[in-house]
Amino acid sequence: MQEALNYIDGRHAPASSGEWLDDVDPAVGAAYARVASSDARDVDRAVAAAARAFAAWSTAPASERGRALRRLARLIERDTEKLARAESIDSGKPLQAARTVDIPRAVQNFDFFADAATQFASEAHPTDETALNYTLRQPLGAVACISPWNLPLYLLTWKIAPALAAGNTVVAKPSEVTPMTAHLLGELCTEAGLPAGVLNLVQGLGPRAGAPLCAHREIKAISFTGSTRVGNEIAREAAASFKKASLEMGGKNPTLIFADADLREAVPQAMRAAFSNTGQICLCGSRTLIEKSVYARVRDELVERVSALRVGDPLEASTEQGALVSRQHLDKVMGCLAVAREEGGRILCGGGRASVAGRCANGFFVQPTLIEGLGPACRTNQEEIFGPVATVLPFESAGEAVELANSTRYGLAASLWTRDLSRAHRVAAQLHSGIVWVNCWMLRDLRTPFGGVKESGLGREGGMDAMRFFTESKNVCVKL
């Protein structure tokens, strides 16, 4: 049986407790590996290693840090097929998606921040003719990076890369549900010659490993992506110990389709927004708002397209919808479907478990589901389901569309589709979302800031915002 181990001070090791967790392949519904079940002792060892490595790493030339990150990028690129397969087995996502999206994005993360390490600039301010003020941006020390299960290596590297580029050392905790590519990343760190202690990976459960990591007095900042519930707990801990925190949390994202939109593009992209990664992306558009004059047409085409999505073995090339990540998550999504029916929702397609023959007969599959007939205040349109479930709602005016879009406690992302440029700008400004896509979805530029508002997040990551988060500014005033 495979093992997902801790990576501390440049070496792989099991948990101090000697305990293990099952790593389940969700497509077959059975354990295929075991995961180190770490606790505070492992966290202490990892933080101590990071603290020891900080002095040398933080003072290394930026170009040297950049070269180290680029070596990691090339090794990930070399091992794309191995990493993609591990990601697919661990998470249930189609192998093709892992191969073409997740692993290439991990490569891009390291390449981008390898460049950023040498391009991160500060400011200077002459004060009349009496003094010169300049700002130093200095790394914080040992920082914590906590990543979720839906895009395991993609989001783990999204956090690690800027932290290392800025000169910090890192203790990262990947999700215990999808730990394998983090384990493999540790192997690549050794091969790349990353100094011991610069990057440490602690496997295990949130309460046993994540909580002591966030509470550790030597951890200077926490970058977290995950649920709003856990983000709330981390925010409390960070406030109590005066740590910096960047929190990217839940979403209940709207897709707004106006009657004048190019529907040939808008409809398939709205489906893609709702059902990519089986709906298990925080940016998925799970509420499709459609202008009333084209509602029936758009709804019917969505039903046709969603009904045609191929659910199947993630390792098969023809599969478009894989498995949900765990039995627990399957039960949650099925419970949400029961709630939708209780609320009076009409199931337009899907609505139950999907049957997949062969080796995946016991896997955690759900039919892609569209629901109509539910008001904006119902639980189905308010609570994050995080599965292949989307609702459709009509609207009559731009004002009503904005009101519907903003009617949840979340504010992570939105997309809107219209040919009216003036309306596009006006509505985008009115939406309570950290990112708004116009006539597109999930088109990302790594230079731009990313994060949510309301209960979707606190702080911004991406580009130089990430570099600023992982540094502290110091003003130096020199009298002339």
Q: Which residues are catalytic?
A: 248, 282
386/388 Cα distance (integer angstroms): 7
- What residues contact residue 134 under an 8 Å CB cut-off, 6+ apart? 122, 123, 124, 125, 475, 476, 478
- How open is the CA angle 247-83-193, to the nearest 5 degrees? 80
**β-pair partners for 349:** 370
234/465 Cα distance (integer angstroms): 20
**β-pair partners for 31:** 24
What are the strands of the beta sheet with 471-479, ordered from one edge? Answer: 124-127, 131-139, 471-479
- How open is the CA angle 258-262-267, to the nearest 5 degrees? 80
162/155 Cα distance (integer angstroms): 12
Q: Is the distance from CB of 89 to CB of 99 less than 8 angstroms?
A: no
SS3 261: coil
Evaluated on CA atoms 386, 392, 397, 400, the torsion sign reads negative
136/131 Cα distance (integer angstroms): 16
- How open is the CA angle 345-230-437, to the nearest 5 degrees? 60
Q: Is the distance from CB of 434 to CB of 452 less than 8 angstroms?
A: yes
